[in-house]
Amino acid sequence: MTHGVIDDRALVARAAGGSEVAYRELYRAYARPVYWIAFGLVGNPADAEDVVQETFVVAWRKIPSLRLEGESLLPWLATVCRLQAQNRLRARRRHSSHAALSDAIPSAVDVEAQVVQAHTVSAILAEVDRLSDLDREIFRLCAAEGYGYEAAAVSLGVSHGTVRNRLSRIRSRVRATAIETETP
């Protein structure tokens, strides 16, 4: 790791070779964004936490054969997460005897909504990939890992104002991308 930039390809290669340290670094980098994807799909904090754990169990098993397409592991993890969330929702429906619960689930398993959401997430991730290295790190630290401006600034060796201003521009770009992809 250099200057806070995670090299996912190197970490994936090391994790594929059995490095638990590399796998833990990937987990720390992506557990929070995967949680929010899971929560958006299952709508329940406890289920979302279970989906995150199941996603990373699958990742641990499959990482030796993974060929990372882009620079980030997140798109692949998001796909695994969506599949695990679908499994969780199917199990919830199967084991539920309450009609009320069934009525609450359709919005979460609406195929069209999932396709739109997947398309939006892909567009946002592509937009994030187009950011400069510094902007990508600011986004990762502040948006994905929950760092405050000052903590991110210290971690990256830049000023508080730099983080605040760049994050504002990054959020505007990401928001515009999300709005464009959700508009029919």
| Predicted confidence (pLDDT) per residue in 19-70, tens digit | 889 888 889 889 999 999 999 888 888 889 999 999 999 888 888 888 777 7
Task: Return d(Cα 116, Cα 114) in angstroms, integer.
Answer: 5
The answer regarding whether domain 110-184 maps to CATH 1.10.10.10 reads: yes
DSSP string, 25-77: HHHHHHHHHHHHHHHHHH--HHHHHHHHHHHHHHHHHHGGG----SS-SHHHH
Which carries the bigger pLDDT value, residue 175 or residue 65? 65
Q: Domain 1-106, what fold?
A: Rna Polymerase Sigma Factor; Chain: A (1.10.1740)
Kindly report the pTM of this predicted structure: 0.51
Would you list the domain boundaries of the chain? 1-106, 110-184
CB 72 within 8 A of CB 139: no
Task: Return d(Cα 86, Cα 115) in angstroms, integer.
Answer: 13
CB 167 within 8 A of CB 149: yes
Which of the listed ranges 11-20, 63-72, 111-120 does the model predict with the highest average pLDDT? 11-20
86: how many CB neighbours lie within 10 A of its CB?
16
Distances (CA, A) of 153 to 8, 87, 132: 22, 40, 16
